[in-house]
A and B are shown apart, each in its own frame.
Chain A
């Protein structure tokens, strides 16, 4: 026998398998997708509806609210975005994207009809099923409403599984309000919607202040039963979720029932590049959704 090593072709071995997280071919597998609709929300933010082109792949694509995917334009860039649409729609997602750099600017240029690549879904999501039979507080600040839209859609579609559902949404000014066209629909499904702005303009008739002001009103004077059976999902900048979670804590809502989503630099989304580490925890696989107890225990988190 010749003492020669045989080449092991891992590509051939795994070519057709990219369905599970431990298939080698999963690593760079891209779903070719098309931008089917572009809906500008504000000067900076736009909703892109993106559909996987292959019908088979489309059927298989599932995600849970809170997860993100990596969106790629060849040669331009690849970046993580939270999925902002209902988990019951398969193979089609909506992303709410703010112009921030190369990829996001180019995407705004190519617009509808563009062929993009998506990888994912990645990361942890909000444990919606665990929340069945409970009250939920959905709290968003600024752009945080984008990732919150997915759990809102879930709550809406499964309204009978939840007790009281409250959305609290705070922004800087009325002009910054996102998804205004959906507010009516949410209310119609027996979801209490509370909107508050930091700075009113002449036409603003709603509340003025911080989201914690509203939260205080909702939480004050409730029964222990309410506090013991309430979950909170908080999406927004760290300063905001820190104050919100602190307040929830004063009402003895357990920190493990509060969920937040962290954002970090991400180059892979798969626990390999280390760029997303908070302290020494991978935001991309242990997060982006963390319960607040975990966040409190992470170094460098807030």
Chain B
């Protein structure tokens, strides 16, 4: 998957930094990596900005010589912890790719069940695997950059890589999804009598879910200065049950801190 273009690219006469990158997958659905490969129209441009030395989805030949490591998935097992620590040592920049890596993602839901043995039996049948509570990458090693989303948005990954190459800072929206939802002229789901976490969830997905008349589940985690406390109250006042609200807030793990603080 190496591109033929080995000559350095330039912008405004300045050579770009062409980092060696590796993509690593832990406990996840691989959906985030697929987002990147699936993206045919821009894939070549994207690949010309980086040198991919390790990519589970698309290559067999692998190397430990990388500067940027993209970590997909949450961390559940002991061997994963060891592997992640090794990657951290090799990489200059470690990127948590997607909600599983950023917060634990849907995987962390199983932390809710106190009796993990039960989970093991249910999920893995009679071949029990060594599973520990699900952790975000950040809880194991230092993370330099988080790219949120379940799955991530390819445009955001591309922009992040382009900005690394250019030496520009990576700015992700600090405000909530409602901003994009209104820009897309959706009818607010609360008007339709449905639940939505848009007012407290970080924007950047271009209000993916409300665009198809489905409430936001908060996959990108809380916006900066999200008023989760009051939003919970609003949802309750609108007649939604405590369970329904908690189920949303717990789903991807992004709001875990807010839930802990309350308890």
Contacts and interface: CB of A to CB of B under 8 A. Distances in A.
The short answer to whether A and B are in direct contact, CB under 8 Å, is yes
Binding site of B, secondary structure by majority: helix, strand, loop or mixed? loop
B14 A75 contact: no
A110 to B, nearest CB: 6
A76 B13 contact: no
Contacts of B239: none
A101 B169 contact: yes
A230 B242 CA distance: 68
B167 A105 contact: yes
A76 B169 CA distance: 10
B209 interface: no
B11 to A, nearest CB: 7
A73 B167 contact: no
Nearest to A113: B13
Interface in B207-235: none
B243 to A, nearest CB: 42
A113 to B, nearest CB: 8
B12 A102 contact: no
B109 interface: no
B112 interface: no
A106 interface: yes
Contacts of A109: 14, 167
A175 to B, nearest CB: 27
A114 B166 CA distance: 16
B168 interface: yes
A206 interface: no
Contacts of B168: 76, 102, 106
A202 interface: no
A110 B169 contact: no
B12 A74 contact: yes
Interface size class of A (residues with CB under 8 A): 10 to 19
Interface size class of B (residues with CB under 8 A): under 10
Contacts of B14: 106, 109-110
Interface string A91-125: 00000000001100110011000110000000000
A105 B167 CA distance: 8
A101 B169 CA distance: 8
A101 B168 CA distance: 8
Interface in B236-263: none
Nearest to B11: A75
A110 B13 contact: yes
Interface in B48-81: none
B16 to A, nearest CB: 11
Interface in B164-189: 166-169
A169 B11 CA distance: 40
B83 to A, nearest CB: 35
Interface in B4-18: 11-14
A73 B12 CA distance: 9
Contacts of A75: 11-12
A75 B14 CA distance: 13
Contacts of A74: 12
B153 to A, nearest CB: 20
B167 A110 contact: no
Nearest to B168: A102
B224 to A, nearest CB: 16
B180 to A, nearest CB: 19
A114 B12 contact: yes
Contacts of B166: 76, 106
A257 to B, nearest CB: 41
Contacts of B169: 101-102
Nearest to A115: B12
Nearest to A111: B14
A73 B14 CA distance: 12
Given A74-B12, A105-B167, 9 more contacts: A73-B12, A76-B166, A102-B168, A102-B169, A106-B12, A106-B166, A109-B14, A109-B167, A114-B13
24 contacts: A73-B12, A74-B12, A75-B11, A75-B12, A76-B12, A76-B166, A76-B168, A101-B169, A102-B168, A102-B169, A105-B167, A106-B12, A106-B14, A106-B166, A106-B167, A106-B168, A109-B14, A109-B167, A110-B12, A110-B13, A110-B14, A114-B12, A114-B13, A115-B12
The 10 closest A-B pairs by CB, nearest first: A102-B168, A109-B14, A110-B14, A102-B169, A110-B12, A101-B169, A110-B13, A105-B167, A73-B12, A76-B168
